[in-house]
Amino acid sequence: MPRALTIQRTLVTPPDRARFHEKLKRKHEYYAKANCRFWAFEEAGLPGAFLEFFEADDAATLARAHAGAPEPVLDPNRVYTEVELR
C-alpha cells in the first residue's frame, strides 16, 4: 500500500510565532507516537507562511492519527497517496 500524505497551510502573525513553534513541536511528538512523520516548512520569501506535512505508511494510519490529534487538521479527508514510479 502506498504512503499517505496530508498537507496544511498556516499563516502566523509575528506575535504568534513563539506559540506556533511550540505547537509544531507538540505535533511532531504526537505524530511520531502515532507512527507518522510530520514536517513544517516556512516560505522563504513570506515569513509566517507555513506548510505542514503529515505522512504515514498508509491512509488508515494517517486517518487514525488525525482522528486522535489534540489539534484538528483543517481538512483531514484530503489525503494524497504516493504514485508508484517504478
Chain-wide mean pLDDT for the chain? 94
pLDDT at 72: 87
3-state helix/strand/coil string of 26-86: HHHHHHHHCCEEEEEEECCCCCCEEEEEEEECCHHHHHHHHHHCCCCCCCCCCCEECCCCC
The 10s digit of each residue's pLDDT in 46-67 is: 999 999 999 999 999 999 999 9
pLDDT at 1: 64
pLDDT at 2: 81
